Amino acid sequence: MENQTAVTEFILLGFTDVRWLQILLFVLLLFTYILTIAGNILIISITLVDQRLHTPMYFFLRNFSLLEIGFTSASIPKVLFNLASGCQSISVAGCFSQCLFYLTAGTAEFCLLAAISFDRYVAICKPLSYTSIMNSHFCNWLVLGSWLIGFGYVLVPLVLLFRLPFCGPNIINHFFCDNFELLKLACTDTRLLGLLVFLFATGSISGTLAVTVFSYFKIISAVMRIPSLAGRQKAFATCASHITVVSMAYGSCIFLYLKPVGSSRLDFSKNVAVLNSILSPLLNPFIYSLRNKQVKEALREAVRWITVFSKNSKV
């Protein structure tokens, strides 16, 4: 890679070059990042500690929160460092690492969302076979497969991308190393590789989305056959949080990646990337905790236990 490029680092333009705005953004992003990490760690802890949440759905939710931590940590710490220091550079190796972790976690999230939708399909449409199908061995393989697919799916396009000659300019009009922006900086014809990146993005998003849509089509068909309104509402309630998260994740990523290179305004793309990289990982723990009765009960019990423990320790 070093023999084929004259560029040793890239410059991330970020959001603004006005210093007081950079400081304000640093404070807001730092607060948001801390909340994101704390919220997802709370979900992981609650689903580990509470025995009632040792089910496949919460096993997937726990791993999804772990992915969210990795996904947002792939870009936000570097953004915070750049805002605080005023240094906007990132090495070629650092750029490659950021792309690899960001896209791996993002692709693995789509696979895991598809696995969660399949879990809900089996729970609602095949309840008598649920424990035999969604056993711990199968669930472990679904999570491991999500990670492996995420890594394997993005590795080849990224290796090909970073083997391109970069001889200048080296300015990326984004707050992280976006692969589509990097394609524009290569000193060679990138149309074929751009098409390959587009096809890989299309495959990862549309493939997992097809599984999710099929699962919910079957779920809706089964739920509509439930005679009582209360029964239908209860069945839909178990899927409400997942549907909300799926809508946010796929909505932002379809806009960002399922488009030809350079087909949309950069500023608007950056705003959508903020939603995808920062706000979604922040909101997901609140969505699952506020819309899920079992998680709310586990949180209340945890708060009561902490309160009792703190009072006893003072005595």
pLDDT higher at 54 or 230: 54
DSSP state for residue 315 in the 8-state scheme: -
Q: CA 172, CA 269: separation in Å to the nearest integer?
A: 13
Q: How much is the pLDDT for 104?
A: 92
pLDDT band at 289; cut points 50, 70, 90: low
Phi, psi of 142 (to 5 degrees): -65, -40
Q: Which amino acid is at 178?
A: D
Averaged pLDDT for residues 19-29? 89
Provide the mean pLDDT of the chain. Answer: 82
Pick the CATH number of 2-314 from 3.40.50.12780, 3.40.50.970, 1.20.1070.10, 3.40.47.10: 1.20.1070.10
Averaged pLDDT for residues 198-207? 82
pLDDT higher at 269 or 112: 112
Secondary structure of 18-69 in HEC code, one letter for each residue = CHHHHHHHHHHHHHHHHHHHHHHHHHHHHHHHCHHHCCHHHHHHHHHHHHHH
Q: How much is the pLDDT for 314?
A: 59
DSSP state for residue 5 in the 8-state scheme: -
